[in-house]
Amino acid sequence: MGFRLRERTGPTPVTIYSFVEAVGFLYDQHPRIDFAQLASWVNTVMGDAELAQLLHVVAALKASHQRKTERFRELMTERLLQCIEQR
């Protein structure tokens, strides 16, 4: 579960069902999500322990939400492209 922030309506909940949806959500203008929970979801649901470990490191950083979002987006997009290439 994440939230899209909008100037007039405020936070709007977004339910994320797939890895592709999660990556797309991170490209939103103002996405808000619990990074540790997303990293755990990648490990538990997607079964990608390697990516989850990297995401947990980013989630623990003393960085802004925006910077963490950018790094999550980069890592998850890279993994998505790798999966598409393997098809």
87 residues of the chain, pLDDT tens digit each:
999 998 888 999 999 999 999 999 999 999 999 999 999 999 999 999 999 999 999 999 999 999 999 999 999 999 999 999 987
* Angstrom distance (rounded) from CA 41 to CA 74: 17
Domain holding 26, by residue range, is 2-86
Q: Is 2 helix (H, G, I), strand (E, B) or coil?
A: strand
| Tally of domains in the chain | 1
Q: Among 32, 24, 34, which Cα is nearest to 73's?
A: 24
